[in-house]
Structures are given as C-alpha cells and as structure tokens.
Amino acid sequence: MVKRVLEGTVALVTGASSGIGAATAVALAEQGAAVALAARRRDRLEELAAGIRDQGGTALVLECDVTQEQQAADAVARTVAELGRLDTLINNAGVMLLGPVVDAPLSEWQQMVELNVLGLLYCAHAALPHLLRAAGDGPRQVADMVNLSSVAGRVARNGNGVYSLTKHGVGAFSESLRQEVTRRYVRVSLVEPGATATELVSHNRPEVRESIRNQLGQTMQAEDIADAITYIVTRPRHVAVNEVLIRPTEQER
C-alpha cells in the first residue's frame, strides 16, 4: 500500500459536528491523520468518530465550547495528551448571523465576535507551541494552521456588516501570523468559501433566513471545501498555499 500523506500526524478540527468541519475531519482521516473532533454537540461527534473508526481511522471526541478560553486550551491539551502530538489545526468553528446593523440584536454581534474571532484566537494561541514543535520534529517537518474565513472576509456588503468584520479580522490575523512563523515551517493558510450548503444559514432569525434563501443560487457542498483544505495541508514541505478563495461557479460576488 502507498503510504498516506498524513500518516503519523494529528489534526484538531473545531466545529467538527457538522458541515465543513465534519467533512474535513473525514478527509484528513482518509489521508492518514488521527483526528481530534471539537464541538459542543457530543452526539454528533460520537457519530462522526464512529464512522472514521469504522474506516480504520483514529478519532478523539472533544466536547467543548471554544469561546471559553479554558475549554479551548483543554481541547488542545487533550489532543496532545491522548493522540501524542499536534501537527494540524483547522480553525473552522464559526457562526454567520446576517441582517441590518440598525436595530440588530447586540447578542448576535457578541456571539460572532466570541466564536469567529476569540474562539479562533484561543485555539491558535494554545496550539502554536505544539505546531512549532511538530514543524521541528514531526514526521513531515512541517505543520499547518488553516483558518476558515469567507468571501465576506474580502468584501463587506449591505447586511453582513459584523460578520464581515469578524472575517476580515481572521484574514488580517492569519497574514500577520503567517509572516511570523513561516520560516519556522508552520504554514498559516486562509480559506474563504462562497455559498456553501451548511447549517450556517439556519442560525439566523426567520426573517433574515428567508431573505438569504431567496438570494442563494448555486451552492457548494461541505466536501468541496474539505477537498481544498486537504490539498493545502498535504503539500510538500517547501510549498505553502497561503490563501484560497473558492466560490460556486455561478456566484458572481
């Protein structure tokens, strides 16, 4: 058998209970990585882990809320303690709550900042020492952090003001960190999906949800984004894919 590219490595995927996170965990396991699955919905994680194990993979279930600093740090610590190392972090957990800025519920803004920004930062901060170590002594001599952004991280539009703010922030953080650690062979990559069929839309208020659905045309599947992420983290050591903007073919903006 041909050795799989990620054999002997460990990946932590946040927001792994559905959508892009779940699809990415499966894809990385197929490439040989042991995967730690982090999210709040334990039942979903257990089901996903069982599927990965049925295919001969290794999966660790981490029920946690990454908006809580200690829980994010504990998820990283448990990954290293139980799987032995950390070579790849997929910062996927996020929420998209759209609508006008005027009269918007402040709780929605707080939720997006807490998850899309602070949750990502907590995980990145806890993971970096382990990623740097993996780049020095790991089986591939390189480590990866992939941060999920959005087309909204490129262009702000009417109705996505605070969501766009959080995703622009993810992009700025990712590029700054990339410059800081790239010579130490920790690759920091930004993935910016367009319209994708996931649970993100369902988290919105009913009136906003209806408006979004009326605007949606062609969508990608979570597996399409997982395929792009897998491409990024399986490149040879001397190749870093810094940024991927990926839209459905028919999406114009």
pLDDT given for residue 33 in this prediction: 98
Judged by DSSP in three states, 40 sits in: coil
pLDDT given for residue 81 in this prediction: 98
pLDDT given for residue 242 in this prediction: 98
SS (H, E, C) 65-127: CCCCHHHHHHHHHHHHHHHCCCCEEEECCCCCCCCCCCCCCHHHHHHHHHHHHHHHHHHHHHH
Six token digits for residue 82: 């139980």
pLDDT given for residue 77 in this prediction: 98
pLDDT given for residue 203 in this prediction: 72
Q: Which residues of 100-127 are buried (b: 16+ CB within 10 A; e: fewer)?
A: eeeebeeebbebbbbbbbbbbbbbbebb
Q: pTM value?
A: 0.94
pLDDT given for residue 205 in this prediction: 67
Over residues 22-53, the pLDDT tens digits come to: 999 999 999 999 999 999 999 999 999 999 99
pLDDT given for residue 206 in this prediction: 74
The residue written with tokens 């073919």 in the block is 249
pLDDT given for residue 213 in this prediction: 63
pLDDT less than 70: residues of the chain: 1-2, 199-201, 204-205, 209-214
pLDDT given for residue 94 in this prediction: 96
Examine the residue annotation and report whether 122 is marked as an active-site residue of this protein: no
Q: How far apart are CA 147 and CA 156, in angstroms?
A: 19
- Which of 122, 163, 185, 231 does the annotation list as catalytic? 163
